[in-house]
Structure 1
Amino acid sequence: MPAVLCLFLCVWACTWAEPSPPASVDEMNVLMYGVLQFGESLHHVHQSTGDRLSRASRALRRTETLLQRLGHDTEQASRTEHHIREGLSLIQAQMAALQRQAQQTRGLVNRVAQEEVEFKEKLANLEAKLNSSAPGRIRELKEAAWRHGLLLGELKSWTEAQRRQLQEHNQQLAKIQEHTQDVW
């Protein structure tokens, strides 16, 4: 390549130059030496430019790779953000439902507490009325309840005894029936 370039430059210089007396050998040598120096410099610039282009190309490929990774990471971050937003929306909806349920429960507890207070007041009023109207009547009712409890206990014992007696009779009857069947 430098030889072709030198030859081209020589031909160009000769065609555009005005006719002059033939140059001496020393002048031609100096001229050729300059052309060679120029060719080497041009060659060196060509090589260094090629090296620079190679380095720039490698740097560009690295940058493109990094940009692709960055794009992938950005997409993944976007998907993750979307999932987080969906999860957050779900949690917020659950929290709202729990708050509504807590309010309903709080209202129910307050209503039950109020009813309990009212029931205790009514019971206290009823006891006060019973105690003030017939103190002897309460004692009579308690004694009657105790007597009825004793009678119920005795009735239960008697019923149990009758049940056992009935079972014994049924067993004796079953034996008699078996014995009569064997005889017949």
Structure 2
Amino acid sequence: MMKTLWGACLLYLAAGFRAAPVEPVAKTARLEDKEREVNVLMFGVIQLSESFNYVFETTEAKIARIHQTLRRHEGTLQDLGREAEHAAQVEREMKEVIQRLQEQMAEQRAQTKMTKDCLASLEQEEAELKTKVQKLEMYLHTNVSIKELQERAKEQADILNGLQHFTQDQKENIETQNKKLSKLQKMSETMT
């Protein structure tokens, strides 16, 4: 568009210079000088229009490359945006997992503390029982040994068994005596 505008200007100028009236020779020299000047000016205008045309075309190409680069960068920015959203989602999930792990660790610590307290209590009870057993053993050793107690208990059990047998024998003797007495009473009643 710019090229055609400059071309039209140049044609108009050239037509204007060629349509100059023919005059005597003296004027012709001046006219030739002016024509040369006009040719130089025309050449300059042509050079200027070509320069403008070149600048216009190169600027248009640069703008096209810039638009293409911007589109690529826009795509890259969209990709980066999606990756940032994904990374944010992963970060949220990791924070949730870490929070759950911290809660589980707190529960484990509480259970461990309860277990340690229970174990300490059991150890204390065990120590108290050991002390009681030791005191009891010392008491038994000082007063009577366990074997002596067992022997005495056995002796007492034997005596008790003997008494039970003796009592049983006595019961049987009493029954036998009672039977004999009853026979004697019957006999004495019949005789009387």
Q: TM-score range by the shorter chain?
A: 0.5 to 0.7
Q: CA deviation at 1:59?
A: 1.5
The question of whether the paired residues in 2 share the 8 Å contact of 1:5 and 1:39 is answered with yes
**How many Å separate the matches in 2 of 1:61 and 1:92?**
46
Q: CA deviation at 1:25?
A: 3.5
Deviations 1:152-176 (A, max 9, x none): xxxxxxxxxxxxxxxxxxxxxxxxx
3-state DSSP of counterpart to 1:57: helix
1:46 to 20, 39, 56: 56
Could you say which residue in structure 1 is the equivalent of 2:143? 133
The one-letter code of the counterpart of 1:116 is E
**How many Å separate the matches in 2 of 1:71 and 1:7?**
52
Write the mapping of 1:4-153 to structure 2, written as runs, cut at 5 A.
4-8=5-9, 24-135=34-145, 138-141=147-150
Unaligned runs of 5+ in 1: 13-21, 149-184
**How many Å separate the matches in 2 of 1:62 and 1:142?**
107
**Residues 56 and 142 (structure 1 numbering): CA distance in 2 closer, same or farther, change over 3 Å?**
farther
Deviations 1:108-154 (A, max 9, x none): 0100000000001111111111222223x633516867xx9xxxxxx
* Count of residues paired in the alignment: 138
3-state DSSP of counterpart to 2:96: helix
**Residues 10 and 119 (structure 1 numbering): CA distance in 2 closer, same or farther, change over 3 Å?**
same
The one-letter code of the counterpart of 2:135 is N
Q: CA deviation at 1:34?
A: 2.2
Pairing 1:3–2:4 present: yes
Write the mapping of 1:159-170 to structure 2, written as runs, cut at 5 A.
none
Could you say which residue in structure 2 is the equivalent of 1:155? none
Two-structure CA RMSD over aligned residues (Å): 2.9
Q: CA deviation at 1:49?
A: 0.3
Q: CA deviation at 1:4?
A: 2.5
Q: Percent identity?
A: 32
**How many Å separate the matches in 1 of 2:84 and 2:9?**
56
Q: CA deviation at 1:28?
A: 3.5
The one-letter code of the counterpart of 1:125 is K
**How many Å separate the matches in 2 of 1:108 and 1:139?**
40
**How many Å separate the matches in 2 of 1:142 and 1:29?**
154
The one-letter code of the counterpart of 1:51 is A
The question of whether the paired residues in 1 share the 8 Å contact of 2:6 and 2:49 is answered with yes
**How many Å separate the matches in 2 of 1:5 and 1:140?**
139
Larger radius of gyration: 2
Q: CA deviation at 1:54?
A: 1.4
**How many Å separate the matches in 1 of 2:100 and 2:64?**
54
Between stretches 49-58 and 101-110, larger displacement belongs to 49-58
The one-letter code of the counterpart of 2:61 is D
